[in-house]
Amino acid sequence: MSTFNAPKGTFDMLPPYSETFNRIRIQFGLELRDAGFQYIETPTFEETGLFLRGVGESTDIVTKEMYTFEDRGGRSLTLRPEGTAAVMRSVLQHNLYAGRLPVKLWYFGSYYRYERPQAGRTRQFTQVGAEAIGSDDPLVDVEMIALATEGFQKLGLRDFRLLLNSLGCRECRPVYRAKLQEFLRALDLDAETHARIEINPLRVLDDKRPEVQALIADAPLITDHLCEACAEHHTFVRGMLDELEIAYEDTPRLVRGLDYYNRTTFEFVHDGLGAQSAIGGGGRYDGLSEDLGGPDLPSVGWALGIGRTMLAMEAEGQTVETPADCDVYGVAIGDAARRAVFAMITQLRIEDIPADMAFGGKKLKGAMKAASQSGARYAIVVGDRDLTEGVAQIKDLSNGDQTPVPLDRVVTVLKEKLQ
């Protein structure tokens, strides 16, 4: 019990669950590194203007969900609601685009959105993300999708689906947008939805209400209105995914909650999660660099929600084995023995052998119980009599066999046994 609890919408990542969390981070980190991505970390908060400009002033994220505050110097700052705008800001600020393109970066961290908390939706959440900045090659879109798919599969996930769309470009989207608006304006919708038609009509396609869905069943679709270049790009992406046997579902009504997207957009959804089914999402954002004052740097990326990925693993019964706390556990009875065992444990750690010991003057029985709970393979047991004889007992915890070993040989013997 404590007087305080974690704030609403946040969570403590506790053991043994935290093991899965770390495993996901390590796995994606290795996979992305092997594909040429380098790690980047940007600040937890940025100038508010970055997100207004980057994410888009009409999005729910910016209008309703940002944690914005003024610091003591009177600056307006915002806890990052997503990673892409900040990564682009950093690439531009540090001229990372001066060398070989695309610049490939990956990141892992906490993001903040003031949303209504529910299963799979929290106000602080963790994403792993990857961005390829500075190439308009549709093959990079496919590379990104393939890496996310492979990552999920390596975690043992099977029941996820890839939803794919193209949002067109600055040429063809405005034409489509006007057509969609024309269609939507003629419908009998509530005032709020009519207001949305004027600001962000694509969002209306995402309306979950069945009565709205029925009304918009015949709405024009973006994929029927792509310009030649966008259509070619989209056809390439789909063809290459087919070639790689990566299954996708054409989802012409897929709308993402961020304004920077164009052309390829996608989402990974998992069917075992209920309402918050998106375990990851991403797409192309060819205009973001210029929106932030940079040069023409067409880019594509994704971010995956770690919390939802963990829920998906749980739904599919995928567990990560919790490794033993250590290989060797020290049990000392008496003060002099405690000092000797602690010295041995320290030496084992220097030799990269995971080791721990019973602290706090436990009696033999309690200390042996702690040894077996630790999952260690061997215990070093030392009593005062052993010390007088200059030995420690090395106990094999799998079968209880115990052998006396001279004190100065303990580390060497254990090293040999554990090889």
* 100 assigned to a ligand binding site: no
Q: Binding to ligand HAM (CB under 6 A): which residues in 78-97?
A: 82-84
305 binds ligand HAM (CB under 6 A): yes
**Binding residue for ligand HAM (CB under 6 A) from 122, 135, 223, 264?**
122
Nearer CB in complex with ligand HAM: 60/207: 60
Least distance (Å) from ligand HAM to the CB of residue 268? 7
134 binds ligand HAM (CB under 6 A): no
Nearer CB in complex with ligand HAM: 148/345: 148
* 321 assigned to a ligand binding site: no
**Cα–Cα distance between 85 and 16 in angstroms, integer?**
33
Scored b (16 or more CB within 10 A) or e, 347-367 reads bbeeeebbbbbbeeebeeeeb
Nearer CB in complex with ligand HAM: 51/329: 51
112 binds ligand HAM (CB under 6 A): no
102 binds ligand HAM (CB under 6 A): no
207 binds ligand HAM (CB under 6 A): no
307 binds ligand HAM (CB under 6 A): yes
Q: Binding to ligand HAM (CB under 6 A): which residues in 251-270?
A: 257-258
38-39/103-112 β-pairing: parallel
Q: Binding to ligand HAM (CB under 6 A): which residues in 285-304?
A: 285, 301-303
Least distance (Å) from ligand HAM to the CB of residue 90? 14
314 binds ligand HAM (CB under 6 A): no
* 83 assigned to a ligand binding site: yes
Least distance (Å) from ligand HAM to the CB of residue 260? 8
* 261 assigned to a ligand binding site: yes
Least distance (Å) from ligand HAM to the CB of residue 203? 14
53 binds ligand HAM (CB under 6 A): no
* 211 assigned to a ligand binding site: no
Nearer CB in complex with ligand HAM: 125/152: 125
* 78 assigned to a ligand binding site: no
Tell me, rounded to whole angstroms, the distance of Cα 365 from its chain centroid.
43
- Burial (CB < 10 A; 0-12, 13-18, 19+), residue 376, is buried
Cα torsion 227, 232, 233, 234 to 10°: value is 90
**Cα–Cα distance between 146 and 166 in angstroms, integer?**
17
Cα torsion 273, 277, 279, 280 to 10°: value is 180
226 binds ligand HAM (CB under 6 A): no
152 binds ligand HAM (CB under 6 A): no
138 binds ligand HAM (CB under 6 A): no
Nearer CB in complex with ligand HAM: 84/135: 84
281 binds ligand HAM (CB under 6 A): yes
* 127 assigned to a ligand binding site: yes
Least distance (Å) from ligand HAM to the CB of residue 67? 12
**Residue whose C-beta lies closest to ligand HAM:** 305
47 binds ligand HAM (CB under 6 A): no
Per the listing, tokens 């602690």 go with 342
- Positions that interact with ligand HAM (CB under 6 A): 82-84, 113, 115, 121-122, 125, 127, 129, 131, 257-258, 278-283, 285, 301-303, 305, 307-308
From the annotation, which residues make up the binding site?
82-84, 113, 127, 131, 256, 260-261
